Structure 1
């Protein structure tokens, strides 16, 4: 089908999530991802990378992907090609492939020009650039035809994944800090609703565990990047009085999105319905979000009104949940502003998955939407790990005691970012 002559879809034809592909720490697939998310099983471990010790950085915990076996995850990829790529490219390619496989879509089943890929990364291939700039005398990190060009471009994970799966539609990579994952999904919704694509693979890839990134956050002061912890798994403590900041996380994740009519026509399993996305730049403070709560509450209520739902119908709020003071209290205040007539005990459960996978920046919104979709599908709320002593400003339900069965059909995912950015995605049970 030629996308230039495609008809505009029926506006009532919803967009649904049918596939999840991941290359995350300790997490090769969607089933293991759900197990970790549901139980709040942290993948944050002790950080023993020599470059951190050499830099004298007191950063001792991170969610690390570890060695990546492309022979297992990307069977059939020519070794001559794989040798030119880096771990970020290979992990993203695996997540894209797996999202299609999880959705039950074989290569060629979607017309190539109707298949698009939108990825998000806040900083691109930092590890390769760091290696290139710190190369030992006599070594050449640019050696090999195309090697440096592939490994050094932020957009190459998406474009090389497109070649791998045969996607000829829109293929792009956006960079919007920590709201980038949401923005990727928002762009996917536009592609599908306009009729420009039939399937969009929306995802993120982030590999920020390098000293330079740690220094950026350390420079913001205490309570942003978690310092040394006796148990790295407890380093991230969202909404807790004893919070200490976040841990860095890395990996890749991609979601397969398509129109509901086509998903049902082929008998696909549907994780959740993606009702809509709303993004706002507060155009106010470069590093701090609205601390009153009015702005975030208005974005959430505006989106819910747009999709024909009400705040009172919310059964779960998947927070950005960075375990930093400003984020924690801003989210809590926004929830109270959204539902001003509700007592704290009547507010919808509000959780975070940052204790599991750390802060993955441009991929964080993708993880949030995947986690929330699985909660809707399984009708089970995920535990917020490491929440033991509530901050008085956050003293309401964070599902701290463990996973919980629930009956709900509406949830929202929240994302916030430097640059005064706020983003919300609404999801519905199918």
Structure 2
């Protein structure tokens, strides 16, 4: 694989997803990821990462990574290096390396200067800093500052840069932080790198490790209905579009997509999951923690994106929503669909779903999960169900594929992301 970048392909050059790395709760490969999504099997369980009662927090459910061994994913990483990294860094490096491997690429298959990495994280290594601040003598041997690895462990961009060294990526390597639209933004930056001719392959995705009492307090401070208090049935903690919604659960892990121009991917005989046609990012420049509840702003952005990629709304077969199971998010998405299709009955709107019931809310990684999930739906020609929709909110009573997985002739889909700070992001994908 080689390109000298002398003839940028431009906006019309298709970009495709050729690989995925998914390190999530009880999910260590694409097969696991698709199995959980396509069957609506929630990976949200009892919160054990911290004692919520001791902290006085009404939080009892989370999508937590269990024991993690990086060695099957990073077999050639020296133990002397691994010891300097946090578990979080090793998880992200594993997802990045897995995406490259899933694409059928190994070290040296891409010229180093043509390989880039773009990641997203809303908070970075918050757990490491928390441990550091709570350690009586952080400079003691074995403590947070007990060796030179402290410089690695404290940087938000370190997982991407350490992965770049490991896979020999000498192109653009960066980490963005733009709350819950960050995963989309990372993929959007990758599209620019590929279409400009600056890179042949970009490993784009996100990582988040927010299961901490301080993060829970942030969302509880916003009031009831944001962070789910579910205790008895944690797998049902996240109920988007349902009249009994109670908010989201915290989720963690790392997801990375291997992106290439379709011409180079086809030339090497790569398996292609989906095409990414375009990305639309905007800021409403309105309310800091809410969003346009008329639906008109989001519908306008959706219409603009479809026009930009040369598609029509009548071709749209699925919308992968942000779906946080918070009232404002659910209403905004449902109203946007109705505004995009004025005059249509709810039964005539495209299917619209959420994967938050499966992996919780993963903030800076959420957009990457959405694009990965949408790509697999296009690849398998099957819509994943929205789990836990039992009593639809009358204002959100559209087709959420709530009955279970559904075979479909799916050619065009949209992925949606929203974030605090008045941010909206949309990604258009097509069957390859």
TM, length-normalised to structure 2: 0.97
Q: Is the 8 A contact 1:3 1:196 kept in 2?
A: no
Taking the aligned partners of 2:135 and 2:379, their CA distance within structure 1 comes to: 48
> Could you tell me which residue of structure 2 aligns to residue 253 of structure 1?
255
Counterpart-to-counterpart distance in 2, 1:22 and 1:67: 15
Q: Distance in 1 between matches of 2:177 and 2:351?
A: 30
Residue 64 (str. 1) matches residue 64 (str. 2): yes
Give SS of 2:71's match: helix
Kindly indicate whether the alpha-carbon contact (under 8 Å) linking 1:271 and 1:377 is maintained by their aligned counterparts in 2.
yes
Quick one: distance in 2 between partners of 1:364 and 1:133? 28
Aligned to 1:352: 354
Alignment of 1:276-315 (within 5 A): 276-315=278-317
Conserved 8 A contact 1:70-1:90: yes
Deviation for aligned residue 1:6: 3.1
Question: 2 CA distance for matches of 1:148 and 1:361?
Answer: 25
- SS for the counterpart of 1:375 is helix
Counterpart Cα distance in 1 of 2:30 and 2:171: 25
CA contact (8 A) 2:20 2:103 kept: yes
Distance 1:366 1:15 in 2: 15
- Tell me the residue number matched to 1:170: 172
Partner of 1:275: 277
On the 8 A contact 1:314/1:411 being kept in 2, the answer is yes
Partners of 1:43 and 1:295 lie apart in 2 by: 33
In structure 2, the residue matched to 1:179 is: 181
Corresponding residue for 2:36? 36
Report how far residue 257 of structure 1 moved: 0.3
> d(CA) in 2 for partners of 1:137 and 1:172?
32
Given the alignment of the two structures, is residue 160 of structure 1 paired with residue 152 of structure 2, yes or no? Answer: no
Equivalence for 1:108: 108
Q: Structure 2: where are the runs of 5+ without partners?
A: none
In 1, Cα distance between equivalents of 2:139 and 2:72: 30
Give the SS at the match of 2:244. coil
What CA distance in whole angstroms lies between the structure 2 residues aligned with 1:71 and 1:53?
A: 35
- Equivalent-residue separation in structure 1 for 2:310 and 2:137 (angstroms): 62
Give the structure 2 partner of residue 92 of structure 1: 92
The range that moved more, 131-140 or 145-154, is 131-140
CA contact (8 A) 2:10 2:196 kept: no
Partner of 1:203: 205
Number of residue pairs matched by the alignment: 430
Whether contact under 8 Å (2:50, 2:213) holds in the other structure is no
Give the SS at the match of 2:192. helix
Q: Which moved more, 1:404-413 or 1:145-154?
A: 145-154
CA deviation vs aligned residue, 1:21-54 (integer Å, no higher than 9, x gap): 0110000000110000111110001002344332
Secondary structure in 1 aligned to 2:180? coil
Q: Which residue of 1 aligns with 2:344?
A: 342
Q: CA deviation at 1:3?
A: 8.3
Q: What are the superposed Cα offsets for residues 160-207 of structure 1, whole Å, 9 maximum, x if unpaired?
A: 000010000000000000000000010000000000110000010100
- Are 1:204 and 1:252, in contact at CA under 8 Å, matched by a contact in 2? yes
